């Protein structure tokens, strides 16, 4: 079933018309290939990725790829309500929005901390899907405890020399560029001090990249080795030593989860439709009241998730975001994704364990593959345990 507005936040006939326009356009331009891979849109083959890039360029021509950006950077100049509507409609349909690291994470940071030259160089290329970005935060001994990172950046004239390693790099295989955190001065007081934020071309001499295959079989992650890689000083975002402030702002964007709730609604609707189609048969999940209660709870959880996503988006736009709310949203949607995928796999029975490439897979393997990916979502971007800690300290003001 299509998404229904649950919270208006200033919507109305114009927003309803926008929804209708997007749905009509998607019915004509979104291929079945992407609708089938909606559970896993970021994990495409190289050929599939190129087709997704072409789709995103068509989307950009409509003004819907970066709808909230100002006109000078090729955005649509739309308000927050329109932005949320566009994103959730695309997510629900399974549209392959490539370069989420660039659009959803790096771009907001550049708008806030970037120099005019950095904005002019990077933002239009992101909008046109001409430059793909990877996130270079995690290291072998610095994941959720990011402040313990060991990569160094030493100033040398008009450049910095980067040495160290990044691992479990999101979109590391397909990316052209990577944003990284590196230590520009040794630890003296707080570990967060002396860390800087850099934009790095992955073709820079001294960088070696190796793919990492995940449990789903996709080599989308990578590890990078920096051995004297020379990065222009003009690629430093923010002041030297203030990278932690930049990184925190970026993670707030990563954890807003505007589209995750719409994806959850899509999976839930597919599951409910599948159950209804088997009413009265020998395989009727709804005959068991336990399953009916579980589905009812899932409906409630998804509705709350959409409301939370709208709230985060509006507070971000107003510059009034509670410091603990992004972590709450990230935690909620990570746990919701895991719960929903586990419920689907259980209701589907043995067929729910088949992966998408199996000819007998049910619902395109969304729940089997998604169940594996839900583990990733509970770790990537900060583990659920870390989110609970941030909610209690930054959000509630409790002592550490």
- pLDDT tens-digit map of 92-104: 998 988 898 999 8
**Whose CA is closest to 336, among 249, 263, 227?**
263
For the residues 356-367, what does the mean pLDDT come to? Answer: 82
Q: What is the pLDDT of residue 241?
A: 93
Digit-coded pLDDT (tens) for 232-266: 999 999 999 999 899 887 766 655 577 888 888 98
Tell whether the model's pLDDT for residue 335 goes beyond 50: yes
Both 160 and 84 in one domain: the answer is: no
Distances (CA, A) of 172 to 127, 134, 135, 220: 19, 5, 8, 6
Distance CA 80, CA 123 (A): 19
125 within a domain of the structure (yes/no) = no
105 within a domain of the structure (yes/no) = no
Instruction: For the chain, give the number of residues.
Output: 400
Q: Which of 254, 270, 369, 385 is catalytic?
A: 254
β-partners of residue 196 are 182
Q: Percent of the chain at pLDDT above 70? A: 91
Look at the pTM and tell me if it is higher than 0.85. yes
Collect all residues with Cβ–Cβ distance below 8 Å to 379 and sequence separation of at least 6.
143
Q: What is the pLDDT of residue 254?
A: 52
Tell whether the model's pLDDT for residue 12 goes beyond 60: yes
For the residues 16-32, what does the mean pLDDT come to? Answer: 92
> CB–CB of 400/393 below 8 Å?
yes
User: Which of 38, 73, 98 finishes a domain?
Assistant: 98
Q: What is the pLDDT of residue 8?
A: 47
46 within a domain of the structure (yes/no) = yes
Q: Which two tokens stand for residue 163?
A: 């040495």
Both 191 and 225 in one domain: the answer is: yes
Q: What 3-state class would DSSP assign to 7?
A: coil
> 61 or 8: whose pLDDT is higher?
61
Q: Which of 117-131, 195-209, 310-324, 366-380 has the lowest average pLDDT?
A: 366-380
Write phi, then psi, for 202 (nearest 5 degrees).
-70, -10
33 part of the active site:
no
Q: What is the pLDDT of residue 39?
A: 47
Q: What 3-state class would DSSP assign to 282?
A: coil
Written in H, E and C, the secondary structure of 88-115 is HHHHHHCCCCCCHHHHHHHHHHHHHHCC
Containing structural domain, residue 259: 255-395
Burial 329-345 (b: 16+ CB within 10 A, else e): bbbbbbbbbbbbbbbbb
Both 42 and 93 in one domain: the answer is: yes
Q: What is the pLDDT of residue 188?
A: 66
Which CATH number covers residue 285? 1.20.140.10
> 267 or 191: whose pLDDT is higher?
267
Tally of domains in the chain:
3
6 within a domain of the structure (yes/no) = no
159 within a domain of the structure (yes/no) = yes
DSSP H stretches of helix in the chain: 13-29, 32-36, 46-61, 80-93, 100, 107-113, 116-127, 243-254, 260-276, 289-318, 325-348, 366-377, 384-390
267 within a domain of the structure (yes/no) = yes
Both 325 and 363 in one domain: the answer is: yes
Both 227 and 268 in one domain: the answer is: no
User: Which of 241, 264, 298 finishes a domain?
Assistant: 241
Which CATH number covers residue 211? 2.40.110.10
Both 193 and 156 in one domain: the answer is: yes
Both 262 and 352 in one domain: the answer is: yes
Torsion angle (degrees, nearest 10) of CA 124, 127, 132, 137: 90
Q: What is the pLDDT of residue 110?
A: 96
Both 82 and 23 in one domain: the answer is: yes
For the residues 299-315, what does the mean pLDDT come to? Answer: 87
Both 234 and 283 in one domain: the answer is: no
Q: What is the pLDDT of residue 189?
A: 67
**Whose CA is closest to 171, among 119, 223, 124, 125?**
223
122 within a domain of the structure (yes/no) = no
User: Which of 74, 98, 122 finishes a domain?
Assistant: 98
Both 330 and 214 in one domain: the answer is: no
> 293 or 283: whose pLDDT is higher?
293
Both 184 and 232 in one domain: the answer is: yes
69 within a domain of the structure (yes/no) = yes
């Amino acid at each position: 079933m299509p998404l229904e507005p649950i919270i208006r936040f200033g919507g109305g006939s114009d927003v309803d018309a926008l929804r209708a326009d997007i749905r009509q356009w998607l019915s004509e331009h979104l291929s079945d290939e992407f609708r089938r891979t909606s559970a896993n849109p970021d994990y495409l083959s190289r050929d599939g990725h190129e087709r997704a890039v072409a789709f995103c360029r068509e989307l950009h021509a409509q003004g819907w790829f970066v709808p909230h950006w100002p006109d000078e950077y090729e955005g649509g100049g739309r308000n927050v309500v329109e932005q949320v509507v566009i994103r959730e409609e695309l997510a629900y349909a399974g549209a392959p929005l490539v370069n989420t690291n660039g659009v959803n994470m790096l771009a907001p940071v550049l708008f806030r901390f970037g120099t005019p030259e950095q904005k002019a160089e990077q933002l239009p290329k992101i909008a046109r899907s001409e430059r793909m970005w990877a996130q270079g935060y995690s290291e072998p001994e610095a994941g959720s405890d990011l402040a313990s990172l060991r990569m160094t950046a030493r100033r040398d004239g008009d450049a910095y020399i980067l040495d160290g390693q990044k691992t479990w790099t999101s979109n590391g295989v397909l990316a052209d560029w990577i944003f990284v955190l590196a230590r520009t001065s040794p630890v003296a007081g707080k570990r967060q001090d002396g860390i800087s934020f850099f934009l790095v071309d992955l073709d820079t001499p001294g960088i070696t990249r190796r793919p990492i295959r995940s449990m789903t079989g996709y080599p989308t992650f990578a590890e990078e080795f920096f051995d004297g890689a020379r990065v222009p000083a003009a690629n430093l975002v923010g002041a030297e030593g203030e990278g932690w402030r930049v990184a925190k702002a970026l993670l707030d964007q990563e954890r807003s989860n505007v589209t995750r709730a719409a994806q959850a609604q899509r999976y839930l609707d597919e599951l409910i439709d599948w159950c209804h189609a088997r009413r009265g048969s020998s395989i009727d999940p709804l005959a068991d009241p336990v399953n009916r209660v579980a589905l009812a709870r899932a409906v409630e959880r998804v509705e709350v998730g959409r409301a939370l996503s709208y709230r985060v988006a509006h507070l971000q736009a107003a510059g009034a975001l509670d410091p603990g709310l992004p972590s709450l949203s990230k935690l909620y949607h990570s746990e919701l994704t895991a719960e929903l995928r586990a419920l689907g796999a259980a209701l589907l029975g043995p067929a729910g364990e088949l992966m998408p490439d199996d000819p007998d897979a049910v619902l395109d393997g969304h729940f089997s593959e998604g169940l594996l990916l839900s583990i990733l979502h509970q770790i990537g971007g900060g583990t659920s345990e870390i989110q609970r800690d941030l909610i209690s300290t930054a959000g509630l003001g409790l002592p550490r």
